[in-house]
Amino acid sequence: MTDTVTANSDAQTQPRPAQSVQALLAQLRDDEALPSAQELVVLSDLSLADMRRVQKAWGTISGPSRLHVIQSLVDESTANLQVQLGRLLRLALKDDLPDVRILAVRGLWEDREADLVGPLIHILNNDPYDTVRAAAAEALGAFVLAGELDELSPALAIRAEDALLAVLHAELEPLEVQARALESIAFSGETGIRELIEDCYYSHDEEMRLAALRAMGRSADVRWRSTVQAELGSPEDELRAAAARACGELEARDALEDLVELLSDESNAVRLAAIFSLGRLGGRRAKEMLNAMSASEDPDEVKAAEDALEETLFYGDAQTVSLFDESSEDWDDDADDWEAW
């Protein structure tokens, strides 16, 4: 009896999802109490007819309500893979609020459909807010990578790369935008990318040095291993974190013990990056330390350690063939040898 009463009570307190897209839009237009994420899920996987309804009504919804809708749904989609927001977020890319546009760009991070390349390039080139342009530059990296993996037409991949390179070569571009562009173009195998990364690494600006370290990890160029390993001792938390992650991305096995030491770093970001990389390196020592970290009192570290232990099933096993061409690690780094390659 008690269980029945409790269940009924819980049912009464749970928010009821909107019956239809029309009902939800009416609620949002009337500025009633903001709907919960559970109620907003009706906007997932919109039909073309419902998409037209949302498009027509979107401008009549207040800015704070639109921001609430997109923020709630992007958060929900991270936890619930059944939530599909492609059509809604494409609409939100044109929203008047920069924060909504940023959320829309980031919410589409797993969407590799070719129709996004043009809008993202348009935002990168034309948005009046540097933060939005930086988000677009970051998002274009996925399409550069898709081009390298032959998952995107060469023409579209080249468009994305050209847009990013234009930003990097422009003298008056904000550093935030250039930094994200460098991290994204690092996925490209085109000649000259290594020089770009190197130039930024020796920049006097810390944001560009940080971007260069992240770019090294994404480059799949094992010649950066010694550089990122050296930066594990940087006095700056962000640089240590970026270097720690890059060591894993580049399978820098010589950095194993350095990464183990970083598990006790004062910075949470550094510890999480070290955990990630130990998952990529694998092996008995890494697994022992990851098992120890899975008993941490920090829930973020526990989750990261559990994910990293799963990664060891694929990455870094002693019997697994490396994902990299190890023969290139000892190549001479001077410009002549690079051009000859």
Q: What is the pLDDT of residues 258-299, one digit of tens each?
A: 999 999 999 999 999 999 999 999 999 999 999 999 999 999
CA distance 250 to 260: 16
Q: What is the pLDDT of residues 74-124, one digit of tens each?
A: 999 988 888 999 999 999 999 999 999 999 999 999 898 999 999 999 999
* Angle ∠(225,229,233) on CA atoms, nearest 5: 160
How would you class 131 by CB atoms within 10 Å of its CB: exposed for 0-12, middle for 13-18, buried for 19 or more?
A: middle
Of residues 107 and 13, which shows the higher confidence score? 107
Write the CA distances from 186 to 155, 179, 333, integer angstroms.
18, 11, 17
pLDDT of residue 313: 85
Q: What is the 3-state secondary structure (H, E, C) of 203-272?
A: CCCHHHHHHHHHHHHHCCCHHHHHHHHHHHHCCCHHHHHHHHHHHHHCCCHHHHHHHHHHCCCCCHHHHH
Write the CA distances from 176 to 40, 127, 265, integer angstroms.
33, 14, 27
CA distance 278 to 271: 11
| Percentage with pLDDT > 70 across the chain | 86
Q: What is the pLDDT of residues 124-147, one digit of tens each?
A: 999 999 999 999 999 999 999 999
pTM of the predicted model as reported, rounded to 2 decimal places:
0.85
Q: At residue 247, what is the residue type? A: C
- Select from 293, 239, 286, 236 the least CA-distant residue to 264: 293
Is the pLDDT reported for residue 320 higher than 70? no
Is the pLDDT reported for residue 8 higher than 90? no
Which CATH fold topology does 112-220 show?
Leucine-rich Repeat Variant (1.25.10)
* Angle ∠(143,313,268) on CA atoms, nearest 5: 70
Name the CATH superfamily housing domain 222-317. Answer: Leucine-rich Repeat Variant (1.25.10.10)
Residue located via tokens 């933060």: 131
pLDDT of residue 2: 43
